[in-house]
Amino acid sequence: MSTFKAPKGTYDLLPPDSATYLAVREAIAAPLRGSGYGYIETPGFESVELFARGVGESTDIVTKEMYAFETKGGDRLALRPEGTASVLRAALEANLHKAGNLPVKLWYSGSYYRYERPQKGRYRHFSQVGAEAIGAEDPALDAELIILADQAYRSLGLLNFRILLNSLGDKECRPVYREALQTFLRGLDLDEDTLRRAEINPLRVLDDKRESVQKQLGDAPLLRDYLCDACKAYHEEVRELVTAAGVVFEDDPKLVRGLDYYTRTTFEFVHDGLGSQSAVGGGGRYDGLSEMIGGPALPSVGWALGVDRTVLALEAEGVELELPATTSVFAVPLGDEARRVLFAKVTEMRKNGVAADFAYGGKGLKAAMKAANRSGARYALILGERDIEQGVVQLKDLESGEQTAVGMNEIVAELKSRLG
């Protein structure tokens, strides 16, 4: 036992559980790769200012949850609390929006950091797969992303998730709504902190999870009653395209996202098997974000899905993923000469695409066979002195217990055909 432990609110991903996380990442990425999204990776930290501007000065993320620090050179940096601002910054810096086709379609996968109160499904370090489509204002693009996320979840075998959908309007109709909401909120019995938030960004108050606040919001004005004609038409088209694709969603007029940059389409994926941390992912359109961080007007839309939350959702539904065996063949040499011969064979097998492992550390037959069984391999290859003289190796099926001698030169071909 080491004297060091993982920091509070974080976790280590270890085998065999880590294989599930990799499979989830892969399943989310697959539909994106097949739809024109290219992979992007950005640094784990950025200028504090990027998030303050991009995510929003009044958000909990920036005011309370960001890991911000000053470097030895005096730069103010922060560990990234979310992915969109960084991806947009990188795309602008590389002038991807000038390189040809818009939208620029990107996907990413990585760790994010927030100083949260740790609880199940909410960590200080968490992992997400996200997608952004930058530089086009088109309801079909919003619909595409919702459909791809739905496809990713279904490919994993998840069934009991719900998609919530809303529109937050744009710079024409949002201010009118904002004023109506502020007027309403000023008449409520709210604490000073919440009233202050209502002045900076009243939509955030709708997102307040406390019952004392929610109880008073029953008659709050709804954004959908304030949408301008252009936003209404846009939202209607998103709904029609998603419906035509056979994807089921629920209209949620109170849905706002916890980031200031969203406009128009906003959506969330929730899973009722997760208790209070029910959101497994979400996203929306953010048409003004590029200008907020000093770029040109580039209307964009994106989402991020939580890998940890998705794994919890799979557990809640009792879904077991079909994971490929990490090892197909486990080699057991008996004696020094066998060790040399069999190690060379294992190397050859691996070059031929057969996943193989080896009994290291000079174990005896009994211990080596235990290791073979634990490895999850389908076959064990056993080589003793007599086998070497006869030019064969013993191939043991670890499921049926059946054992056959196979010519040393035929073994790779034999295993390839058996393993298909």
Beta bridge partners of 126: 112
What is the tally of helices (H) and strands (E) in the chain? 16, 16
* The two structure tokens encoding residue 333: 């040499």
DSSP-assigned states of every residue in 84-118: HHHHHHHHHHTTGGGSSSSSEEEEEEEEEE-----
Q: What is the mean pLDDT of residues 160-168?
A: 95
Name the percent of the chain lying above pLDDT 90. Answer: 74
Per the CB < 8 A criterion, the answer to whether 270 and 161 are in contact is yes
Considering only residues 155 and 288, tell me which one the structure prediction assigns the higher pLDDT.
155
Asked if residues 286 and 261 have their Cβ atoms less than 8 Å apart, the reply is yes
Q: What is the pLDDT of residue 223?
A: 87
pLDDT greater than 80 at residue 302: yes
Is a pLDDT exceeding 70 seen at residue 58?
A: no
Least confident span in 67-71, 121-125, 389-393: 121-125
Closest CA to 106 of 143, 146, 134: 134
3-state class of 4 per DSSP?
Answer: coil
Residue 56 has pLDDT above 80, yes or no: no
CATH number for the region 329-419 comes to 3.40.50.800
Mean of per-residue pLDDT scores for the chain: 92
Q: What percent of the chain clears pLDDT 70, i.e. is strictly above it?
A: 98
Pairwise CA distance, residues 26 & 280, whole Å: 16
Indicate if the pLDDT at residue 361 is higher than 70. yes
Q: What b/e sequence results for 310-346 when a residue is b if at least 16 CB atoms lie within 10 Å of its CB, and e otherwise? A: bbbbbeeeeeeeeeeeebbbbbbbbeeebbebbeebb
Residue 171 DSSP label: T
User: Would you say residue 366 has pLDDT above 90?
Assistant: yes
Dist. CA 356–CA 327, nearest whole Å = 5
Q: How far apart are CA 285 and CA 141, in angstroms?
A: 10
Report for 115-129, 140-154, 195-209, 218-232: range of highest mean pLDDT? 140-154
Predicted TM-score (pTM) of this structure: 0.90
Work out the angle between the directed axes of helices 139-155 and 18-33 (0-180°, nearest 10). 150
Decide yes or no: CATH 3.30.930.10 for domain 18-173+227-317: yes
* Residue 69: pLDDT over 80: yes
Query: What's the CA gap between 303 and 129, in Å, rounded?
Result: 9
Average pLDDT over residues 35-53: 95
**Crossing angle of the two packed helices 174-186 and 192-200, in degrees rounded to 10:** 160
The mean per-residue pLDDT over the stretch 324-351 comes to 95
Residue among 157, 169, 251, 234 at smallest CA distance from 203: 169
The region, left, alpha or beta by phi > 0 then psi within -120 to 50, assigned to residue 361 is left
- Which pLDDT score is estimated for 259? 63
pLDDT at 275: 78
Per-residue pLDDT reduced to its tens digit, 188-207: 888 888 888 888 878 878 87
- Burial of residue 380 (CB within 10 Å: 0-12, 13-18, 19+) is buried
* In the predicted structure, residue 332 carries a pLDDT above the cut 70: yes
DSSP 122: B
Mean pLDDT over 387-400 rounds to 96
338 has pLDDT over 80: yes
**pLDDT average, residue stretch 366-392:** 95
Q: What is the pLDDT of residue 258?
A: 61
Report helix, strand and coil shares of the chain as percent, to nearest 5: 40, 20, 40
- Return the DSSP state at 216: G
Q: Where are the domains positioned within the chain? A: 18-173+227-317, 329-419
At 395, the amino acid letter reads L
Instruction: For residue range 74-94, list pLDDT tens digits in order.
Output: 999 999 999 999 999 999 999
Average pLDDT (51-57) is 79
For residue 380, what pLDDT is reported? 97
Q: What is the mean pLDDT of residues 382-387?
A: 96
β-pair partners for 305: 129, 281
Alpha-helix residue ranges (DSSP H) falling in 201-258: 203-206, 211-214, 229-244
d(CA 61, CA 382): 57
Cβ atoms of residues 129 and 308 within 8 Å: no
Which two tokens mark 14?
A: 């270890």
pLDDT at 260 over 90: no
Q: Which residue has the higher pLDDT, 264 or 197?
A: 264
Position 386 pLDDT exceeds 80? yes
Pairing of strands 329-333, 379-383: parallel
